[in-house]
Amino acid sequence: MIDKRKFRYKGTKSEILDPIIYKDYKIKVLKHGNTGHTLYCYPHKEDFEPCWTMDLETAKKGVLYWQKNKDNVLESKVQSTH
């Protein structure tokens, strides 16, 4: 016999908090619904894709690294498409 019980999601919604402006870059802030952790979105060092961390200092370091190297990455992407 198949069990037809319905499972209900018991977690809470994540909450989007006010962003942090750091060196003219908007760091998105989210409070995770299940864990309650505060998460910060920043550009990942390897590919500059959005990445989430629980450490604000890591996010700030990622922003600084992105600002120093964003022109090099943009130039290399343009050169590789031609």
Convert the pLDDT of each residue in 19-53 to its tens digit: 999 999 999 999 999 999 999 999 988 888 999 99
Task: Determine the pLDDT at residue 18.
Answer: 96
Sorted by where each begins, the domain ranges of the chain are 15-81
Q: Distance from CA of residue 36 to its chain's centroid? A: 16
Cα gap 23→34, rounded to integer Å: 31
Note the pTM of the prediction, 2 decimals. 0.74
Phi, then psi, of 15 in degrees rounded to 5:
-115, 125
User: Which residues, other chains included, contact 76 with Cβ-Cβ below 8 Å and sequence gap of 6+?
Assistant: none
CB 37 within 8 A of CB 19: no
